[in-house]
Amino acid sequence: MAKRATNPSTRQTSTATIHDQTLLRGEGGELHQIAEGDVPVLTTAQGGPVADDQNTLRVGPRGPLVVDDFHFREKVFHFDHERIPERVVHARGYGAHGFFETYESLAAYTKADIFQRPGEKTPTFVRFSTVAGNKGSADLARDVRGFAVKFYTRQGNWDLVGNNIPVFFIQDAIKFPDLIHAAKQDPDRDFPQAQTAHDTFWDFISLTPESMNMVMWIMSDRTIPRSFRFMEGFGVHTFRLVNDKGESTFVKFHWKPKLGLQSVAWNEAVKINGADPDFHRRDLWHAIQGGDFPEWELQVQLFDQEFADRFDFDVLDPTKIIPEEILPPKPIGRLVLDRMPDNFFAETEQVAFMTQNVPPGIDFSNDPLLQGRNFSYLDTQLKRLGSPNFTHLPINAPKCPFAHFQQDGHMAMHNPVGRVNYEPNSFGEGPRESPTRGFRPFAAEEHGIKARLRPESFADHYSQARQFYISQTPPEQRHIAAALTFELSKVETPAIRERTVAHLLNIDETLATTVGQKLGFKAMPKPADAAVPTRQDLEPSPALSIVERGPKRFEGRKLGILVTDGVDPTLLQGLTAAITKEKAVFELIAPKVGGVTAADGTWIKAQHMIDGGPSVLFDAVAVLTSAAAIDDLLQEATARDFVADAFQHCKFIGYDASALALLEKAGVADALDEGVVALPGEDGLEAFVAKLGKLRVWGREPSVKLGKA
Ligand code: HDD
């Protein structure tokens, strides 16, 4: 039976005398008033049974409404208040429940309970998000992705509120409102939405050289991930681990996706936003509901003051990384997401992450961005959730025992019981502080003058930006140049374009020249003044490339198979069996809604009609058709796009003999390469599926770009 109200207080009052109703006890022990059949009676929020939910109370059939229609008044009142303010940043997000499993004891580094016992599982809730767009914006906006993890530890909640990029735009939190104002819609016109391709963003960026490392990251394919499941996460800042002797070790947190990294192409992102604006949330939903639980490994870079002192950059500067080749991360546990929320609003919308939520054994560094964040997140929750009692919401409440004397306020649900609501008290009632078990901040010695300062050690803004760029594979470098060109092409003020390219000259001359030429510059600007000259001696870090960290297999990915009437059922079954064996999934696309009739007369159900299933929704495609159906298929513009797009997005394409005509019609038949595979092929279908693990034939890209295909 459907459960209506979950508020425990509803259950208590429902036992009151109810006339003329049958009572039925629900799964949770609650009592429902039962109408005819097994359906609970619709009630008001006060529990009053409703007789007519179709018509307002009025005088005569064509007369006015009367004010004593309390049911209508309550219903519309509640509806009018359904929305809460969306997050000022990271408004669009999607969350899931799961657990974190510790690999081994980290007692030598931290007394945090979560890291003491191998195999210990801690419940978690994760919310992924885009930063700039509003709540209803499209998933494939070019944007940083939030990666916020709430661990419900036995010592209270620990929130690791990170991003899918390990550096940030600014070094000091005081610049955050300016950054976000510049990135979001212009205040006079309220567009453009969910994109940085506009004057105000690049104006701010071009006047903020500290953002240059982040600019390389956001112009890379990191900001157009294929799925939340295939992206990294980072705590960004340097934090501290503190052990039971009070000793501190610096730490940077990294999440590594088990299935490898993967992004889409920009042209693909643009089309996905139209074809399926919910692409990322749908992907997570289907993976979890299908039992293919996404998994990340938590890895840590651990270092001491001595390492920090000799490292090339300041470890407190959030615009810098410590390359993994210099300090290899240590795996310490895994995160598995295995359950979708029961209700999006109650959980994903109301979840309140706060960087200042740390358990004993985890502490902050003096990173000025982190310290500013610790200030901001509490305020924002009060604004959004409307009451200091937001910790009473189940998604935010600790799952460990808790006891304090905070009371009252809007929607208070857990007030202290008894007479004593203060401490110390001589009644011996209530909780007491515990110097041994409580949080004690690391006893760092601090000194200096009080002033608004930026350290000299934060002054090199270009060297790591260059290091990121030279660590990319050639296709990834091309994408950075193309992204910069696209974004700056939308900037209307020539001086902003020039200032940006002037910074690029300090990063990589070829990159700057490519972008300058594409923007039609008659002459290149002078390189921007740099407080510290760009270091040319930093080694490339292959760990920064998505292509280098791609998957080994097609596992977890999706093949789109375009089928028509007359399809060879044996070939189709062979292909789908090989995909399933690979732990990948497939969807069928047909010219008409519903499906197709195979050559042996069997009906094959398809998930998409061709207009609704473009190839951008899939990691690879196949076209299986028949001599009888191919002529009709050739007439379909969407079928031609299906192949042409897959080809220009450098995807693998499998095709059977009849489908060759479609490749010709799509204009790609003269440029076939190793990524376009005749099926079943000499090596068989499993060999085709094995190839798919490479995901893209990047070698094809330059020719596609030049229009030679
Ligand atoms: Fe922030 C939300 C990540 C800098 C102020 N931030 C928010 C979320 C993520 C991040 C993932 C969404 C949490 C959720 O899903 O509910 N923010 C970051 C990272 C930063 C960062 C990785 C830099 C390293 N943020 C930052 C600064 C400030 C804020 C410097 C303010 C000074 N962030 C906020 C906020 C938000 C937020 C206004 C909006 C909604 C919320 O907090 O809950 O307080």
Q: Is 503 a catalytic residue?
A: no
Low-confidence winner among 6-10, 184-188, 598-602 (lowest mean pLDDT): 6-10
As separate numbers, helices (DSSP H) first and strands (DSSP E) second, the chain gives 20, 20
**How would CATH label the architecture of 459-547?**
Up-down Bundle (1.20)
Distance 382 CA to ligand 1 centre (A): 14
Residue 176 annotated as binding?
A: yes
pLDDT for position 682: 87
634-682 pLDDT per residue, tens: 999 999 999 999 999 999 999 999 999 999 999 998 889 999 999 998 8
pLDDT, tens only, 324-352: 999 999 999 999 999 999 999 999 999 99
Read off the pLDDT of each residue in 351-369 and give the average, rounded to a whole number: 98
Strand pairing category for 558-563 and 620-624: parallel
559-586: average pLDDT: 98
Residue among 373, 390, 393, 395 whose CB has most ligand 1 atoms within 8 A, to mutate: 373
Neighbours of 524 (CB within 10 A): 17
Question: Which CATH entry fits the domain spanning 552-703: 3.40.50.300, 3.30.420.480, 1.20.1260.10, 3.40.50.880?
Answer: 3.40.50.880
Which segments within 201-258 are labelled E, that is strand? Answer: 233-234, 239-242, 248-257
Q: Which of 32, 71, 90, 280 is catalytic?
A: 90
Tell me which of 377, 381, 383 to substitute to probe ligand 1's pocket, judged by most ligand atoms within 8 Å of the beta carbon. Answer: 377
Sign of CA dihedral 185, 189, 192, 198: negative
As a CATH number, domain 93-392 is 2.40.180.10
Confidence (pLDDT) at 27: 60
267 is catalytic: no
Q: Nearest-5° angle of CA 456, CA 457, CA 459?
A: 65
Q: Which residues face 93 on adjacent strands? A: 129
The closest-lying atom of ligand 1 relative to the alpha carbon of residue 380 is: 44
**What pLDDT does 189 receive?**
97
Which position has the higher pLDDT, 451 or 5? 451
Q: Which two tokens stand for residue 546?
A: 């998505």
Could you state, in order of their start, the residue ranges of all structural domains in the chain? Answer: 93-392, 459-547, 552-703
Q: Is 318 in the pocket of ligand 1 (CB under 6 A)?
A: yes
The one catalytic residue in 71, 97, 163, 357 is: 163
Classify burial at 609, counting beta carbons within 10 Å of its beta carbon; exposed 0-12, middle 13-18, buried 19 or more: middle
| Residues 274-290: tens digit of each pLDDT | 999 999 999 999 999 99
- Reported in sequence order, the residue ranges of 31-86 that DSSP labels E, i.e. its strands, are 31-34
pLDDT band at 1 (very low <50, low <70, confident <90, very high): very low
Residue given tokens 């519309």 in the structure block: 76
Give mean pLDDT, residues 92-97: 98
Measured distance between the N- and C-terminal CA atoms of the chain, rounded to whole angstroms? 59
Q: What is the mean pLDDT of the chain?
A: 94
| pLDDT surpassing 60 at residue 19 | no
pLDDT in tens, 257-314: 999 999 999 999 999 999 999 999 999 999 999 999 999 999 999 999 999 999 999 9
Q: What is the pTM of this model?
A: 0.95
- Residue 379 pLDDT greater than 50, yes or no: yes
**SS3 assignment, position 121:** strand
Name the DSSP class of 674.
T
Residue among 181, 237, 353, 357 whose CB has most ligand 1 atoms within 8 A, to mutate:
353
472 touches 508 (CB < 8 A): no
Any atom of ligand 1 within 6 Å of the Cβ of 122: no
What number does the ligand 1 atom closest to the CA of 129 have? Answer: 15
pLDDT recorded at residue 3: 40
